[in-house]
Structure 1
Amino acid sequence: MRWRSSDLTKYGDSKQYIDTIIIPLIPFQMSHNEELEKLAFQSELLNIFTSEIEKELAGRIMLMPAYSYLKSADIETEINRINGWITDIKEQPFANVFLFTLDATWKKKEQTLDGHMLWLPSVQLGDLQSKEMRAMIRDQVNQLIELIRSYW
């Protein structure tokens, strides 16, 4: 399921089966021209990962809107904000909250987060539609799915 009205209508009837949330953590920074392309690429890549996982595990997980933040923001402030999201999410209740990121800064703060951090090392810029890139994405998605299932 995704954060859209058609899926949320179905959620009410099947909420006892949907116990896992995925939140992509997406940095951006318009004021640093040298990083624009890299950050946009990472955002696209993370969206592909989380969308593929949502498709594979449909009926068991919900993909939340991306949590976007300024790359230069105070990390402690962002931790408080994301933990606020997680507190609200767990009211439903959801047993598992997974935070997906390509930003290693979050991995360093994993113990202060109320969810499971899944940090993916970033790949270099490339063609997301190339055969090689799609194979790499598929391989990593399969590994991530197995990891998520281990929490169930």
Structure 2
Amino acid sequence: MKWTMQDIDTYLQAKEYVDTAVIPLIPIDLKEDVKQKVSMGTFISTMADAIERQFKGRVLLFPAFTYIKNQPLEKRKSELIDWDRHVYEQGFKHVVYLTADGDWKQVEDELPDMLVWLPALPFENMEDRYLKQMIDQQMKQIIPLLTNKWQSEPKQRP
């Protein structure tokens, strides 16, 4: 389910079955490597949509956690932890942060739940059939991560 009026109605009716929040982490920067940041955001949004389609009924895809790339990492981490706390308090047992920004790997162990880092693959000029193959290949790596996560106990928050 997505953060849309139609899907939220469905979520509200079946929220006891929706135990996983997916939060895309997307940087913005209009000074340096603008196209790279846009490409990262587009890629992560595409992959987040694929995860939502694959696990519809189990996950809620939240709007992107968007941050200024040159903002201190500690500040970004603190804000993301606030998001996580809110989502967790609303009943989501699992929270998955999806990113192509390698900075998050530096604080992965300090995050309350699972970070999934994917290398951003440029697909702006890719034919649809190759794009689908690329998404399918990435999903083959993501699906076991999520299914293993669901088989383990949810991480407790302080």
TM-score of the aligned structures, taking structure 2 as reference length: 0.89
Name the residue aligned to 2:93. 95
Name the residue aligned to 1:142. 140
Moved more, 134-143 or 87-96: 134-143
Q: Distance in 1 between matches of 2:39 and 2:127?
A: 12
Q: Distance in 2 between matches of 1:116 and 1:109?
A: 11
Q: CA deviation at 1:128?
A: 4.2
Q: Aligned ranges for residues 58-69 of structure 1 at < 5 Å? A: 58-69=56-67
- CA shift in 2, pair 1:128/1:26, >3 Å: farther
Q: CA deviation at 1:134?
A: 2.7
Q: Distance in 2 between matches of 1:96 and 1:83?
A: 13
Q: Distance in 2 between matches of 1:85 and 1:39?
A: 22
- CA shift in 2, pair 1:128/1:83, >3 Å: farther
Name the residue aligned to 1:123. 121
Q: Aligned ranges for residues 4-43 of structure 1 at < 5 Å? A: 4-32=4-32, 35-43=33-41
Over 2 Å off, 4+ runs: 122-134
Identity rate of aligned residues, in percent? 29
Ranges in structure 1 where 5+ consecutive residues have no aligned partner: none
TM-score of the aligned structures, taking structure 1 as reference length: 0.92
Alignment RMSD: 1.4
